Each structure stands twice: as C-alpha cells, then as structure tokens.
Amino acid sequence: MSKGLVHFVHGKESGPHGTKIAALSTVARRHGWDVASLDYSHTVDPALRAQQLRSACAGLEQPLILVGSSMGGWVAAEASVRVDAYGVFLLAPALYMPGYPTQAPPLLADHTAIVHGWDDDVIPCEHSIRYARLQRCTLHLVQDGHRLERKLDTLCQLFDAFMARCEHPASASS
C-alpha cells in the first residue's frame, strides 16, 4: 500500500521524465510512495502551471509531497498551501524572479528542504538562502550549477534523507 504521492514539477525548459525526476522517482518508490509527473511544457506561464498542479492534486486524500525544479520549484511552493502538501522539496527554485506573480510563496508543509548550486548562473543561490531564512527550512548548497546534474548522487542522498524524515511524523520539521 502506498504511503502517499510524490508529485514532480519540472522546470521551464525540461520535461516530466528528465534525469533528475527519474532518479528521484526511484528514491520515492523505494520509500513506498507513488509518483506522478505532469507535462507543463505547453506553457511558460508559472501561474498557469501552478493552476495545473492544483487541479491535478485537488481532492487527494493521501499525503502529498511536491518536488519542483527551477520554475517547477516556484510552482510547487506556490501550490503547496492550497493543496495541503505534507512535504516540499525544491531544487534551485525560481524565487524572487521578475515576472512571477509572487516572489516568495509561503511554505506551511510539515517538511521542507531546498537544494541549490553555488554556481547557479540562472537563479542566484542567494535567492534560496534568503527564502530558506524567511521560511525557516533546511537548505543544502552544493558545488554545482543550475541543473544540479553533476551532483545527482548527492541530490538522491538528500532526497532519501528527506523522504525518511517524512515517514516519521514525530520528527522535527525540516
């Protein structure tokens, strides 16, 4: 029996079955969670993507973890409150970026974490540092760029630990 659903939200120029999503899906399944990953490539409007995610998650009666990368990170954060996400795991999220409806959506999930590359030339890691401080969530800075592709093993280890924390409701929020 599934423990819940991990819903992946890809970035602006990637797709629902990219390398990171495939690797992290394996981790989620190993922890006994179902996975979903919609295709958002029909639009680059973050508000429309957030609406698509909210619609997909409406009425879920199982625990929900949102995992979003880049624009998908903003979408996951923005939608998390409205879909009552239990956990939110963000990868180089597009926070404090011009043209987005909100700059820093609130995170109310029981478990939250951000992973960002020191050498990100698309979204400065300072944005995630600022947001993690504001939201009081765990932040991992790794020696990598925006795509976090050089540290895929590290990313999987961090997500594995995150999933383990999500399995223990009595553990401290992080």
Please indicate, yes or no, if residue 172 is contained in any of the structural domains: no
Nearest one of 49, 42, 61, 62 to 93, comparing CA atoms: 49
Count: domains in the chain? 1
Rg (CA), the chain: 14
Please indicate, yes or no, if residue 171 is contained in any of the structural domains: no
Task: Give the pLDDT band of residue 169 (cuts 50, 70, 90).
Answer: low
pLDDT per position as a tens digit, 129-144: 999 999 999 999 999 9
CB atoms within 10 A of CB 15: 12
Please indicate, yes or no, if residue 173 is contained in any of the structural domains: no
Nearest one of 59, 54, 61 to 38, comparing CA atoms: 54
Q: What is the mean pLDDT of residues 2-23?
A: 93
- Among all chains, which residue has been given the structure tokens 């050089």? 150
Please indicate, yes or no, if residue 160 is contained in any of the structural domains: yes
Please indicate, yes or no, if residue 20 is contained in any of the structural domains: yes
Please indicate, yes or no, if residue 21 is contained in any of the structural domains: yes
Q: What is the pTM of this model?
A: 0.94
Where residue 159 sits, what CATH number does that domain have?
Answer: 3.40.50.1820
* Structural domain containing residue 119: 5-166
Of the two residues 123 and 13, the one the predictor is more confident about is: 123
Q: What is the mean pLDDT of residues 4-9?
A: 97
pLDDT per position as a tens digit, 63-77: 999 999 999 999 999
